[in-house]
Amino acid sequence: MENTSERLNWKVVIPILLFVVFQSAFNSFSSVIAEIAKAFPDSPPTLIQTIITIPSLITIPISLLSGILASYITKKRLVVFGLSCELAGGLIPVFAHNTIYAVFVSSTFIGIGQGFLISSAGAIIAQNFSGVQRGTVMGFNQVASSLGITGLTILTGYLSTLGWYNAYFVYLFVIPIMALTIIFLPKGQKDVKLVGKGVGLSGLSKVFTPGMIYLSILCFFLGSFNFAFYTNIGMSITAKGLGDSSAIGMATSLNPILTVVIGLLFGALIRITKKFTLALAAIILSSAFFVLTSAQSLTVIAVGGAIFGIGAGIQQASAIYYVMESVEKNASALAIAVAITFISLGVSSSPVIVNSIAGLFGDVNGTNGLMVAAAAYLVMFGIECLRELFFNKNSQIGIVQKTAEAKA
């Protein structure tokens, strides 16, 4: 039965908001890399930088594996296993910090843990909430992740001054989070069995619905052209002679704050924009890129960066929410994992895709890269509007649910 109450079940929400902090906690260790390089001066810089990229690389296959395992193991157990891997990985450098190889083992365990948490978090939200409540919790999820990374970045930076391996003590926070998860998070149901005797391929058909396939492809391009901001804004600013790294920082400084604000307001936003929320994100992002392309002053750059932050915040919260709504609850784990994989692949392919298109219309440079992203988001806005108007008329996104499961 669905939870039709207007009040959120905080016994479920609080554990989610706590463990979601550690689904990308290692992003806060960027400041620690310099200290690790000092501790191991004989190690090549590229090898040192790989330490922080390993978790992201491992997250992709592990999140897919987690989505498959959700058919056989409850999501609560997957979360506890993921937290256990992060705890083990986080403590390895504390006790074995005399060899660089221990740090790589640590990053591997952390990546495994992150993969399980990323896939499971959205699936647990999908299983326990629906309609506007689901959107509200997704927004809170975004807030918790952003604030968590901000807080951990400050803490790891301070601890690393006492010895680089001391930064890993932040993973001790996993212990109380794991305890609260075990106590309060419901056991939940397993996802639909994908294949097997008596099931055939019906399980796969529940995961790979037409809506989910469309959204996965869309997620690839959303990831690709969204990331064009980070790969092109700096080159555009410097090529125009508008400033140096401090100017680049100004263009991106509001993004974390706006992400938090959008997360807090997301539940209210989808009540208004409903199934056109993702289209709204696309047109806002297109506008942001057009502003940044034509910017001839730092003031306009700052305005464009702020508009981008708003659009990116809406996209971040709504993309996975749409995927949840495109499948049944008991198929959400793998659907979310597939969508996350497509986003990650899009981000990884961003420079190649954007520069290839930019090269067709002129020089490959930062400003042309931003223009490509602006045009791409305008096209995605049109496609998404057409889809919602003509092919997704029965969408329940943003509608307060009083009945059973909704599909988008």
Range of the domain at 22: 10-184
3-state DSSP assignment of residue 392: coil
SS3 367: helix
Q: Are 319 and 217 in contact (CB under 8 A)?
A: no
Paired tokens of 404: 């059973």
Asked if 134 and 65 sit in the same domain, the reply is yes
Domain count, the chain: 2
What pLDDT is recorded for position 5?
Answer: 42
Residue 301 CB neighbours (<10 A): 23
Residues 130 and 244 in one domain: no
Instruction: Please report whether residue 385 resides in a domain.
Output: yes
Structure tokens, 273: 């924009």
* Residues 333, 265 share a domain: yes
Q: What gap in Å lies between CA 404 and CA 1, rounded to an integer? A: 7
- With b for 16 or more beta-carbon neighbours within 10 A and e for fewer, the 19-32 pattern comes to bbbbbbbbbbbeeb
How far apart are the C-alpha atoms of 358 and 16, rounded to whole Å? 41
Same domain? For 180 and 249 the reply is no
Name 196's bridge partners.
Answer: 200
Whether 123 is in a domain gets the answer yes
Q: CA–CA separation, 165 vs 167, rounded Å?
A: 5
Residue 44 is predicted with a pLDDT of: 86
Q: What is the DSSP letter of 377?
A: H
Segment 305-342, tens digit of pLDDT: 899 989 999 999 899 999 999 998 888 888 999 999 99
Are residue 339 and residue 260 in the same domain, yes or no? Answer: yes
With respect to residue 402, please indicate whether it lies within any of the assigned structural domains.
no
Q: Is residue 31 part of a domain?
A: yes
Residue with tokens 């496609």: 383
Q: Are residues 263 and 367 located together in one domain of the fold?
A: yes
Question: Do you know the residue count of the chain?
Answer: 408
Q: Tell me, yes or no, whether 231 and 347 share the same domain.
A: yes
Same domain, residue pair 157 and 212: no
Q: Which two tokens stand for residue 364?
A: 């490959």
pLDDT digits (tens, 9 = 90+) for 241-294: 887 656 666 666 677 788 889 989 998 999 999 999 999 999 999 999 999 999
**Class of residue 314 by CB neighbours under 10 A (exposed 0-12, middle 13-18, buried 19+):** buried
> pLDDT at position 217, please?
96
Q: How far apart are CA 285 and CA 290, in angstroms?
A: 9
d(C-alpha 128, C-alpha 13), whole Å: 9
| DSSP code for 283 | H
Q: Please report where in the chains the tokens 């936003």 appear, as a residue.
A: 269
With respect to residue 408, please indicate whether it lies within any of the assigned structural domains. no
Q: Note whether 233 and 159 are same-domain residues.
A: no
196 is a domain residue: no
pTM for the structure as a whole: 0.82
User: What is the distance between the terminal CA atoms of the chain, rounded to a whole angstrom?
Assistant: 19
Tokens encoding 28: 């806060």
Residue type, 369: G
Rounded Cα distance, 89 and 107, in Å: 7
Distance, in Å, from the CA atom of 96 to the CA atom of 175, rounded to the nearest integer, reads 20
Q: Which of the residues in the chain have pLDDT under 70?
A: 1-6, 195-203, 244-253, 400-408
In a domain, 27, yes or no: yes
Q: Residue 246, SS3? A: helix
Which pLDDT score, from 0 to 100, does residue 407 have? 42
Same domain, yes or no: 381 and 273:
yes
The CATH number for 167's domain is 1.20.1250.20
Token digits for 269?
């936003």
Residue 210 lies in a domain: yes
Q: Tokens 């083990």 — which residue?
A: 88
CA gap 369, 121 in Å, rounded:
34
